[in-house]
Structure 1
Amino acid sequence: MPKRLILCDCLGSQNIDAATLSKATGLKCSRVHTALCMTELGAAAEAIKRGEAVFACAQEAERFAAVAAELNQPAPDCVDIRDRAGWSDDPECAPKMAALIADALLPHSPTKTIDVVSEGLCLIIGRGDAALPAAERLADVLAVTVLLTDGADMPVSRAFEVIRGQLRGTTGTLGNFALRLDGLQQMQPGGRGAFTFGAPRDGAETQCDVILDLSGGAPLFPSPEKRDGYLRADPGDPNAVAAAVFEAAQHVGTFEKPLHVALDAGLCAHSRAGQTGCTRCLDICPTGAIRPDGDHVAIDPMICAGCGACSALCPSGAVQYDAPPVAEVLRRIRVLSDTFLAAGGCDPRLLVHDAPHGRDMIALAARFGRGLPADVIPMEVAALGAFGHAEMLAALALGFTGVDILLAPKTEIEPIERERKLANAMGGDSRLRLLDLTDPDALSDTLYGDHPGALGIEPILPLGNRRQVARLAAKALKPDAAEPVPLPDGAPYGAVLVDTDLCTLCLSCASLCPSGAILDNPDKPQLRFQEDACLQCGICATVCPEDAITLQPRFDPTDAALAQKVLHEEEPFCCIECGNPFGVKSTVEKIMEKLAGKHAMFADTNAGRLIQMCDDCRIRAQYHASGNPLAGGERPRVRTTDDYLSKRRDH
C-alpha cells in the first residue's frame, strides 16, 4: 500500500499547498485538516486504521502513537513541516516542505549496537557532607560504596560501604569501570561504638558500574560529560547533586551502546616500520577512545562518544562514521536539494544542526520569532563533528548555494573549523560558515540577512568514498582551475617535494608509503609520485635518511593529480660482468670512490670489482674465487658395492 500524507495547518497558522506537495513527493495527500490532534482526532484514527499514514506533524507524534496502540496498529511516521518550514516570515514554503517530507521518507540504515550491562555497583567519591547523604538516597536502588576524601565521621548505617584511600587510576566506562587505590582502608563494622577502618594497603584494585563524583576536583576522565556512567556534580550545589543522584539511580539494567564508527585497519596510515605518520584521530579524540596499535590505531567502542571528528579528519578513510554511514548522509543532501528544486524552489541553503540544541533553536525561532527563510533547508545530523569537508563540498556541488553549521554549546569546535577552512580553500569560497548562536532570534536574523549568489554548476553524482567525493565536488566547484590551490597546514591533500641533490634513490619512502602515492620503477632507478593518492601522512619525510623530502599541502583539481610523475631518476649502473642494470650509477661510483682500494675488505682489486656486479654475478664471483669461505672441501668419492666386498676380503 502506498504511503499517504496526512496534512494539518495547525489551527490555520501555516499555509499548506497540498497539490504541490503531492506532485513533488509522489504521495497522495489528505485534505488539509485544522486540528488533527484535537477535534479532528477521529480523522487521524481513520488514517491510522487504513495504514501507511505519514502525519505532517512531529509535535504530536506521541499522541498519534497512543491512538495507534489503542487500535493495535504500528505507530505512524511523523515529519515536522511546521517549525522548520510553515512557521516563517517567508510565505512560499511549499518547496521546502516537499524536501523535508522526501528526506523523512528515505530508508535509514539500522544503527549497530552492543549491549552494556550495569548491575548497579556504584562508587560515590567526595567529602562526607555531600557523599554520605547521596549514598543514603541511592542505597535502596544501587549497591553503593563511598570513597571518603576527608575525615568525616563514620555513619552507623550498614546500607552502604565506606572506604578511604587515594584513587591512583581509573579506566573503563558504564558497567566496566576499573579503579586502583593506594592507602585503602576498609570499614570494620564490628565492635562497640563508632565503626573504624582497617590498616591501609597499597595496590588495591576494584570494579564498579557507575561513578558519582562529588569531590569537586578535577574530573577523572577527559571530556567527562561524554563518559557513560560517570556523573559529576558540584558538591556545593544541592540542585546539581540531586540531579546527579537521580540520574545515577537510572543506571541499572541492560543498555544499547551505539557503535558510532567503523575501522578498516588496512587503510590506516598511522605508522609503518615503527615510524609514526598520521596522528589526526589520536590528536582530536576528546575521550581518549583511540590509541596506537602497531602500524594502525584501535578504537574502544565502549569509550567512543560518537562525536565523529575522527572520521571527518581521517585522510585515508580507515575511520568511517557508521551511525549513519556517510553514503546515507550524502543521499539525504541530494534528495533535499533535488526535491526542493523540482518543487519550484531556487538557490537553496543548507542548515546543518544537531538535536536537541539545533532542533530547539529552530522550534523557538518559529514559534516566537521569524522562523527560517524559505530557502534555508534544515538537516539534522547525529554528530556535527562527522560533517566534514567532503560533506560540505558535496552539498555545494549538489545544488546548495551555502552551508551553515549551527554549533551546540558542547560541540567540539576545533575539528569542524579545520574542516570548514579546508573546504573553503578547496572550492567553498566562503560559502561555508559556523554559527555559534544560542539566541533563536539571532539565528533568524543571521539567516535572513545573507543570500549568497547562485553557483551555476551542474550537480554531481556523489559516488565513492569521502576522499573521492571531496575531489569530485571540488573539481566541479573549480571547473576552470589550471593550477593547484594552497591548503592549510595539516590538510590531507598535497604534493611531495624531493631535493634531487640529496636523494640517493634508496626507495625507503616508496617501500613504506601506506597509500601507494610514492612508487618505484622496477626497470630503472626512478621515483614516481601520484598526487591524488597522497595522504600527507609524513612517513616518507620521516624515513628518508637524507632528509630530502618535504610536504606541500595543496589541492590539484586538474587531471594531472591522477597521473604518475617522476620526482627523481638517474642513469642506472650496468654490471661489469653481464651488462644488466642493477643500481644507481652515481651511488655505485660514490661507493667505489670511498671503499675500493681503501677499505680493508675491498683492498684487493678483485674484491673491489664485486661492488660493480649485480647480485647474481657477485655470488658467482665469490663462489669461484680462491679462499671462498662458502666453498667446501673436495667431495668424497662415491662408495660402491665393490668397496664393501673388498673390505670384507681384507678382513
Structure 2
Amino acid sequence: MPSAKNFLGLLEKLQSADITVHQNRCAVVRNRNATCMKCAEVCTSGCISYNDNELIISPEKCIGCGTCATVCPTCALEAHRPNDAELLHRCIQAMRAADGEVVIACEQIENAAEGLLDLEKVVSVTCLGRVEESLLVTLAVAGAKHVSLVEGKCASCEHATGLHMAEQVRDTANTLLETWNSDMRVDLVKKFPHQVRLEGKSSFDAGKRRFFAEVGSEAKAAAGTTADYAVKETLGIEEKPESRFQKVMEDGTLPHFIPDRRELLLNSLSSLGEPKDVMIETRLWGHVIIDPEKCSSCQMCATFCPTGAISKFTDKDGTFGVEHFPGDCVKCRCCTDICPQQALTLSDEVFAVDLLSGAVERYEMKPPAHPVDDPHQIWRTMKDLLGCDQVYER
C-alpha cells in the first residue's frame, strides 16, 4: 500500500481538463490504512492501475470517461466535459425532445449509427460508466418516463469495466426508484429506441452532431458552469470552500464533506416523496454496527469518517460514544479499515426511511483504560500491549 504522502503525489497526476482532483477527500489520503482502490478497479483505460501492491498513474492513458468519478465514494475525483450539471441539462433537453424518453449512448455506438439518429434526442458519453445515480433519480423528478443506456460492443471493448460500472448504477437506481414508488426505470439496451431514430437520412444535420460532440469548446464550458450554478441554486446546494490542508477540528476529527452528488441524490429522493418501509441494499450506503465488547472507545472511526456519518458525542453526565447517521454514509469503509479492535462492521443493508429521516443510532462507550489526558498513558498502554511490567518511563 503506498504511503499517504506518495498517494497524494500520485493523485496530482490525474488533474486535467477532464478530471478535477480533490485530494483531501480521498479515503487513502485521509487514512493510510484505508483499502479503497475503487478508482483503479474500474478505470477503463489503464490510467489508474494497481499492481503488485503499488498504485500506478499513467495520465497519458486517460480518455476522460469519468468512470473513476462515478465509483469514488467521496467524490475525490470530479468529472468534467461534461460536468454533472451540464450532463443533466443535456438529458433534460433530450427528454423533452423525445417525449419523456432519455437516451444516453456510448459514443462508440452513437458514431456507428451516424445519420440514423435525431441527435437532439440522444446524449453521447465517452463511456456509460460516466452515468451515476443522482443523475438518473433527478431525471425521474424532472418527469422522465424511461432511461435507455445504449451500449456498444462493450463485452469485447477494451473499456469493458465501464459497462460493469453502468450495470451497478442501473441496479442501484432501479432499486431506489422502486422503493420511492417512481414508475421510471433504467435499462441497458443494445439498440436505440424508436423514439430517437430518423425515418429518413435526408433530415440528418451534421451540425447537430458537432454541437453535441464539441464538449471542450469555451462556449460549452461556459454553458456547463451556468447549468452547474442553476442546479445548485434550485436544489439548495451551497458551495463549500476546500482547503489544501487537513486541519483537525475542535472535536478531534478531520474535516467532513458531503459530496454534491449525494446531496443531489437525497434531495431528489425527497422530491419523489416517502419511500417504502423496507431495507435496501445498494452500492451507495452502509449501516455501521459496533460490537461494544470489542470496542476500545478510541473513537477513531469518527475521527476519520469523511462525511460525519459517524460523529462523537459527550453528554452532560459524562456519557460518551459515537452516533451513526446512515444517510451520510458513503460506504468508503474508512471506519472498518481504521478500527484497531475490528469491533466495527458495515452492513450493506439500510432502512430506506432512515436515509431521509435523520435517524441516528447512538453507541455508548465505556471509559478507556488509559484516558488521553493521563500523562502516563503511553507507558500504561505499552505495559498492557506487551503484557509485561518491566516497562519504564524516562
TM-score normalised per structure 1: 0.40
Map of 1:392 onto structure 2: 136
Question: Distance in 2 between the 1:466 and 1:300 partners?
Answer: 27
Matched, 1:525 2:320: yes
Among 346, 350, 356, which residue is 2:102 paired with?
Answer: 350
Structure 1 stretches lacking a partner, 5+ long: 1-256, 448-458, 576-581, 603-627, 631-651
Map of 1:24 onto structure 2: none
Deviation at 1:419, TM superposition (A): 1.0
Map of 2:176 onto structure 1: 426
Q: Are the aligned partners of 2:65 and 2:125 in contact in 1 as well (CA < 8 Å)?
A: no
**Which letter maps to 2:169?**
E
Render the CA deviation track for 1:303-341: whole Å, top value 9, x for unaligned. 21122211111111111111111111122233445x55x
Question: Distance in 2 between the 1:260 and 1:555 partners?
Answer: 34
Map of 2:206 onto structure 1: none
Cα distance change of structure 1 residues 424 and 462 upon mapping to structure 2, 3 Å threshold: farther
Among 75, 80, 84, which residue is 1:326 paired with?
Answer: 84
Question: Distance in 1 between the 2:236 and 2:106 partners?
Answer: 25
Q: How does 1:340-419 map to 2 (within 5 A)?
A: 348-355=100-107, 357-361=109-113, 363-364=115-116, 377-409=121-153, 410=157, 412=160, 413-419=163-169
Among 274, 278, 295, which residue is 1:503 paired with?
Answer: 295
Render the CA deviation track for 1:14-36: whole Å, top value 9, x for unaligned. xxxxxxxxxxxxxxxxxxxxxxx
Cα distance change of structure 1 residues 520 and 321 upon mapping to structure 2, 3 Å threshold: same
- Structure 1 residue matching 2:177: 3-state secondary structure: helix
- Structure 2 residue matching 1:567: 3-state secondary structure: strand
Matched, 1:483 2:277: yes
- Structure 2 residue matching 1:310: 3-state secondary structure: helix
Question: Distance in 2 between the 1:462 and 1:418 partners?
Answer: 25
Question: Distance in 2 between the 1:385 and 1:299 partners?
Answer: 19
- Structure 2 residue matching 1:275: 3-state secondary structure: coil
Larger Rg: 1
Deviation at 1:435, TM superposition (A): 0.8
Question: Distance in 1 between the 2:134 and 2:350 partners?
Answer: 13
- Of all paired residues, the percent bearing the same amino acid is 22
Cα distance change of structure 1 residues 485 and 564 upon mapping to structure 2, 3 Å threshold: closer
**Which letter maps to 1:551?**
L
Render the CA deviation track for 1:510-568: whole Å, top value 9, x for unaligned. 22223332222255421111222212122211222332211122455546656473431
Question: Distance in 2 between the 1:560 and 1:421 partners?
Answer: 18
Question: Distance in 2 between the 1:278 and 1:550 partners?
Answer: 16
Q: How does 1:136-535 map to 2 (within 5 A)?
A: 259-270=17-28, 272-290=30-48, 300-337=58-95, 348-355=100-107, 357-361=109-113, 363-364=115-116, 377-409=121-153, 410=157, 412=160, 413-427=163-177, 431-437=185-191, 443-444=193-194, 461=234, 464=237, 465-477=260-272, 479-481=273-275, 483=277, 485-488=279-282, 491-522=283-314, 524-535=319-330
Q: Are the aligned partners of 1:526 and 1:566 in contact in 2 as well (CA < 8 Å)?
A: no
Q: Are the aligned partners of 1:281 and 1:313 in contact in 2 as well (CA < 8 Å)?
A: yes
- The two structures, once aligned, show a CA RMSD in angstroms of 4.1
**Which letter maps to 1:333?**
C
Cα distance change of structure 1 residues 543 and 502 upon mapping to structure 2, 3 Å threshold: same
Q: How does 1:13-28 map to 2 (within 5 A)?
A: none
Q: Are the aligned partners of 1:354 and 1:383 in contact in 2 as well (CA < 8 Å)?
A: yes
Render the CA deviation track for 1:572-616: whole Å, top value 9, x for unaligned. 5999xxxxxx68xxxx9xx9xx98xx97479xxxxxxxxxxxxxx
Cα distance change of structure 1 residues 492 and 445 upon mapping to structure 2, 3 Å threshold: closer
Map of 2:221 onto structure 1: none
Question: Distance in 2 between the 1:494 and 1:538 partners?
Answer: 9
Question: Distance in 2 between the 1:574 and 1:281 partners?
Answer: 39
Q: Are the aligned partners of 1:330 and 1:462 in contact in 2 as well (CA < 8 Å)?
A: no
Question: Distance in 2 between the 1:560 and 1:466 partners?
Answer: 15
Question: Distance in 1 between the 2:268 and 2:19 partners?
Answer: 24
Question: Distance in 2 between the 1:567 and 1:266 partners?
Answer: 28
- Structure 1 residue matching 2:296: 3-state secondary structure: coil
Q: Are the aligned partners of 1:266 and 1:318 in contact in 2 as well (CA < 8 Å)?
A: yes
Cα distance change of structure 1 residues 446 and 304 upon mapping to structure 2, 3 Å threshold: closer
Cα distance change of structure 1 residues 544 and 355 upon mapping to structure 2, 3 Å threshold: closer
Question: Distance in 1 between the 2:16 and 2:343 partners?
Answer: 46
Render the CA deviation track for 1:610-651: whole Å, top value 9, x for unaligned. xxxxxxxxxxxxxxxxxx988xxxxxxxxxxxxxxxxxxxxx
**Which letter maps to 1:546?**
Q
Render the CA deviation track for 1:124-176: whole Å, top value 9, x for unaligned. xxxxxxxxxxxxxxxxxxxxxxxxxxxxxxxxxxxxxxxxxxxxxxxxxxxxx
Deviation at 1:404, TM superposition (A): 0.3
Cα distance change of structure 1 residues 469 and 362 upon mapping to structure 2, 3 Å threshold: farther
Instruction: Indicate the structure whose relative CO is greater, using CA pairs within 8 Å and at least 6 residues apart.
Output: 2
**Which letter maps to 2:148?**
D
Q: Are the aligned partners of 2:44 and 2:67 in contact in 1 as well (CA < 8 Å)?
A: no
Q: How does 1:600-615 map to 2 (within 5 A)?
A: 600=389
- Structure 1 residue matching 2:27: 3-state secondary structure: coil
Greater percentage in strand: 1
- Structure 2 residue matching 1:527: 3-state secondary structure: strand
Deviation at 1:463, TM superposition (A): 5.8
Cα distance change of structure 1 residues 574 and 543 upon mapping to structure 2, 3 Å threshold: closer
Map of 2:335 onto structure 1: 540
Cα distance change of structure 1 residues 560 and 399 upon mapping to structure 2, 3 Å threshold: closer
- Structure 2 residue matching 1:408: 3-state secondary structure: coil
Cα distance change of structure 1 residues 418 and 430 upon mapping to structure 2, 3 Å threshold: farther
Deviation at 1:382, TM superposition (A): 4.2
Structure 2 stretches lacking a partner, 5+ long: 1-14, 198-230, 238-259
**Which letter maps to 2:189?**
L
Cα distance change of structure 1 residues 299 and 525 upon mapping to structure 2, 3 Å threshold: same
Question: Distance in 2 between the 1:485 and 1:316 partners?
Answer: 23
- Structure 1 residue matching 2:340: 3-state secondary structure: coil
Question: Distance in 1 between the 2:276 and 2:164 partners?
Answer: 31
